[in-house]
Chains A and B, each alone.
Chain A
Amino acid sequence: MRPVPTPASATVTQHVYPVRFKSTDSSSPSYQPSVSQRDHSDSVNFPGALNSKFTSTMVFQNPAEKAAMSTYRIMDADGNIVDNTRDPQNAPDQVITTWYRNMLTVSILDIIMFDAQRQGRTSFYMVSAGEEGIAVGTASALEPEDLCFLQYREQGVCLQRGMTVKDFMAQLFANKDDSGRGRNMPVHYGSGKHKIFTISSPLATQIPQASGAAYALKMKRMIDPNVKPSISVCYFGEGAASEGDFHAALNIAATKNCPVVFVCRNNGFAISTASIEQYKGDGIASRGLGYGIDTIRVDGNDIFAVREAMIQARKMALAGNCKPVLIEAMSYRVSHHSTSDDSFAYRAKREVEEWKRRDNPITRLRKWMEKKGLWNEDKEKEARASIRKQILQEFSAAEKMKKPALRYMFEDVYEEMTPDLKAQMKELKRLIETYPKEYDVSPHEDGIKGLNQ
């Protein structure tokens, strides 16, 4: 309540209640009455904790004393179904086989590209060994219109969504077919067609964006009810969940009822930082509760559990007025952080070998498939051979292709190239033409003509 300056003709300063927000209008549905505390009531009326009851026992809640959130799984490490209430076969055998082949493709692509970096044929790569199940499993539960926001270790999502090995290679080699025009480092995939927002390096920046995009999806449907209900899905690691953006994103998603499913890949490491140094609480799942978000923790190596959780999460996100959901998928980062990392500098090689050998999403599904008679050693050999051959073919072709034209250095900074940028493009052309021996523009499509305006 503040005095409002009045015109000179008035003689008395008026006190005006500023009715700026609908929520102070008691007829608005979002308005919460803040009636002061009634005497002898056992319920708290403070607006910040309306569901709380009074107690006269002083207790500090100690999170370490609470049981950790359980980890949902359908299939154990040997490929046996342990949850019989959900039928993992809400997909035909052929589809399940496709998931398997996709995981295999990711795993073989990863090995080939890692080696390519070591040979100097590409500058950088990130392997997702051990985490293929989380990516392929969650993506298998999505609709084509759902939006995907990735971090950098979810190539399985890209493949499951329909990106091809050729698409991958175009980005990895930054050639003229890259929809990202070679502007990003390897593994920074993006695809408008497959609704995968281009990956950016800073961590967790995608999380509030996913909340916002989900809100937009909801609004578009309010404007046009014929629009198909869709969600946004956001992937990030347990390390990225330490960033401020994570907290901002979950809080906004919850308060604004955004249809977003957050998928945290908790793989135990953020470069060299083990999760014991990353947080003190019960993983990332416990944070969801803090923000008022429905949360589940799943066994990330169990592709069925991951998929089922996403199917259910999607339904929950779209029901009624919509809401966010958090899935924390537990796994182990078998790979080094990236080609710039040697993880044996901070963890025992034996630990990694144990995880590789004992349990990973690919061997688990394979065991299940073999028990069902859907797969065998011959099929495995054939699949690996044909996948490898296809990848190497695309690799070879992509490596030889021209790079994007030089004009793409100046385009897309803004929608329209500014006069300054046009002048700079002209200046670069002049330099290259003045000193033709000092530059080799032949790797770029159109060569020097790529700078024509």
Chain B
Amino acid sequence: MSTVFRSIVKTALGVVARRSYATQATSARINRKVDYEKTPILYKTEKVARDAYGLGSDGALEWQNLNQAVCNAMHHALKTDDNVILFGEDVAFGGVFRCSKGLADEFGGTRVFNTPLTEQGIAGFGIGCAAQGMKPIAEIQFADYVFPAFDQIVNEAAKFRYREGGVRVVMPRSPSQAKGMLISSILNCNDPVIFMEPKTLYRAAEEFVPRDAFSLPLDKAEILKEGTDLTVISYGQPLYLCSEAIQSLEKEIKGLSIELVDLRAIYPWDRETVLKSVNKTGRAVIVHESMLNAGVGAEMAASIQEGSFLHLEAPVARVTGWDVHPGLVFEKYNIPDVLRIYDTIKRTLNY
């Protein structure tokens, strides 16, 4: 049985100068807003995109943002396999983030449709469809609203096959990664997948994406930048902040070389790649938005100290949200920013 639950993850508002309620300190040198036009994480030239995905020099590419890439992936899935269906709140008119634009028109209301407003219903309905051989894509409009569906996900989807854990949770960092991972989730994976889409990146992240369908593994982390002195591990939007922090530090400290790992698969996660990296560098910093206590970083830190104990030169550090609910007006002090990542890396290097 496979079901893909797509969930739109709430992340920090992309800061735009004209929005007076969300401004950065004008004197900030390190803690500047992410420039999505220049970040090395996105494939901004055709060559870089082709190299990344092993395409020949005339490999077809599209310039897309995250919601377009997600739409494209689902379009491919719907076109390729009659068993694929897509449903959720407001998907028929294109979706509140435009991720399903044009799909209902092209594939009809029997395959792409609105459900009534009920996440537990969407999840349960999806599980039932999948159990009976369909390949449903069940969209949860905002990750914050997934909780009524928790019983269905945890007690039903995860346990249907009775495998340890049972549900896969993945998060793409970019449009091209999203395309490959979503196609994989829908068509090549027989486990239920929770596919988490960082909302901020829908429009902000734009790059070249292979035009033809392709698959990416759902159980492998990826090394975005090789390094020797310290490993930074993160997933989703914080990767862009990590990249900025690393750039600042490498400019400041001559010869410094930091490795950046995109976890991609949150659960189950790729221990092998992470441990190999930390064994090489001897220092690890984990970055994620959700709170410190019992977060993804806690599990990783425990595993790293188990698997790399004798290689470690410093305690595994975590840069995360504080142990508080994310309050609106305090957002920029709560969600890890470039500065906190920079500071933590520096202190870990100097331990």
Contact = CB atoms under 8 A, between A and B. Distances in A.
Interface in A234-250: 239-240, 242-245
Interface stretch (B59-67, B113-121, B206-214): B113-121
B295 to A, nearest CB: 13
A341 interface: yes
Given A120-B19, A202-B147, A272-B92, 16 more contacts: A123-B328, A174-B329, A182-B330, A202-B148, A239-B116, A240-B117, A244-B148, A270-B89, A277-B92, A277-B113, A340-B96, A345-B94, A409-B324, A409-B330, A424-B323, A440-B27
Interface stretch (A105-113, A318-326, A429-437): A429-437
Contacts of B145: 201-203
Given A184-B328, A243-B148, A244-B148, A272 B93 contact: yes
Interface residues on A, range: 35 or more
A279 B120 contact: no
B293 interface: yes
Contacts of B20: 120-121
Contacts of B144: 201-202
* B interface SS class: loop
Contacts of A122: 21
B322 interface: yes
Closest 9 CB pairs of A and B: A182-B329, A183-B327, A440-B25, A242-B116, A409-B330, A438-B31, A346-B93, A239-B117, A174-B329
Interface stretch (A46-54, A71-79, A400-408): A400-408
A277 B340 CA distance: 47
B28 interface: yes
Contacts of B329: 174, 181-183, 403-404
A185 interface: yes
Contacts of A244: 118, 120-121, 148
Interface string B81-94: 00000000110111
A51 to B, nearest CB: 30
B238 to A, nearest CB: 17
A397 B179 CA distance: 47
Contacts of A242: 116-118, 121
Nearest to B120: A244
19 contacts: A120-B16, A123-B13, A123-B21, A174-B21, A174-B329, A181-B327, A181-B329, A183-B327, A184-B327, A202-B147, A203-B145, A240-B117, A273-B114, A346-B93, A409-B334, A435-B30, A437-B29, A438-B29, A440-B24
Contacts, number: 141
B323 A435 contact: no
Interface string A163-200: 00000000001100000011111000000000000000
Contacts of A239: 116-117
Contacts of B92: 272-273, 277
A18 to B, nearest CB: 28
A121 B21 contact: yes
Interface of B: 13, 16, 18-31, 89-90, 92-94, 96, 113-114, 116-121, 144-145, 147-148, 292-293, 322-325, 327-330, 333-334, 339-340, 343
B339 A439 contact: yes
Contact of B323 (A201, A420, A438): A420
A413 B325 contact: yes
A158 to B, nearest CB: 19
B134 to A, nearest CB: 20
B324 A413 contact: yes
A420 B324 CA distance: 11
A410 interface: yes
B29 A431 contact: no
A184 B113 CA distance: 32
A421 B119 CA distance: 33
Specify which of B28, B92, B329 lies most central, judged by the most chain A CB atoms within 10 Å of its CB.
Answer: B329
B339 A435 contact: yes
A5 B26 CA distance: 74
